[in-house]
Structure 1
Amino acid sequence: MRKWAKGVGILTLGILLSACGSNNNNDMESEQKSEGASSMSKSSPVTVQLMDSKGKQAGTATLEQAAEGVKVKVEAKGLTPGKHGIHFHENGVCEVPIFESAGKHFNTMKKQHGFENPKGPHVGDLKNITADQSGKASGDLMSSLVTLQEGKDNSLLKEGGTALVVHAQADDYKTDPSGNSGDRILCGVIKK
């Protein structure tokens, strides 16, 4: 009887220790997952000040990291009514009046421009925004091709930053290098 009781005691102790060990591992895994999730959700939004060709304030854009990419909320003014191309550009410099200092479209994957181009798109391509009759445009855009996580090839917060540029005309989503979207009329630097 004592042997049986002793065997059951050892077996019970083994099961309890095993269960405790697996609970601790699950707790650790849960903590690691929640830490990763919270660090993603804790990243602060980046506010971009848009300026016109005279260097005057012409709106803002708020960039926020999401699980599926970067959310872009744009509020712009001083535009002609209608659609306007908007893109991320490779340099975090916006020198008036023509913003050539912003460089080409952000294009870390070396593709051609346009969502409808079989050889595209650039990682910097975004959907058009539309200005109303008063020249104001609001847009909620999403880019799954860029990130705000530093150290990644496609990070908008790369060393030197990048820029958000609004063009004079609509982007046709297919013509390389800029979708026939015309002059650069608003620009904002994207930096941490």
Structure 2
Amino acid sequence: MLGSRIVCEGKLVKTEGIVKYTEGNFIVVELPSETFQVRQSLRCQIFEFNSTQTFQTTVVGKKNHHIILIAPPEIRERWIPRESPRFPIDIKGKISAVSFSGKKPLVELMKPYTVHIYDISEGGIGFSSVNYLREGAIAQIYFQLLNQKVYLEIEIVQNKYSDSNRNYYYGGKFIDQSSPSYQVIRTYTFQAQLQRIMNRENEGG
């Protein structure tokens, strides 16, 4: 998709550009002039080899003849790598219930585990704790994000122990991506992705 020709059309103007790069939910397009405005709705068509795809989108940022477009689901599935961008974060949370077998129901902990969450993506979180969780376990975790308390179930997909600070470092995968709490995650990562792209554009792309 990178370097592909793309035609973007607003209500009054139609222009051709090049896909410069993609990241997560976004497509960055280079245009010959600053034609479109932020929050403007566009109809776009991507051309690559013998394939084309048309989609509706919205401009969410612009800088230096580049516009940032929201990539709709059909574009992400076909053109953008599946890996979810990860973002550093520094927040505390608690694990309140666990199933070490990886099967429900979860068992409430008499004393919740304290965790430090150090990165986050649409797919999951990285966190550390002095408490042990086996790979394959399911845990309910809660923490504050965007001034909201979120409760999420995660599957432990990675477990590493550090002798230097006697902490376990975990990778946790979000299980239910339809819950209201998960929508808070989506909002946070959407904003973080957009900010990272804008920072890159401000530094000259």
Q: Is the TM value for this pair above 0.5? A: no
Structure possessing the higher relative contact order (Cα contacts under 8 Å, 6 or more residues apart): 1
Please say which structure displays the higher CA radius of gyration. 1
* Structure ranking higher in helix proportion: 1
TM-score in terms of structure 1 length = 0.31
* Structure ranking higher in strand proportion: 2
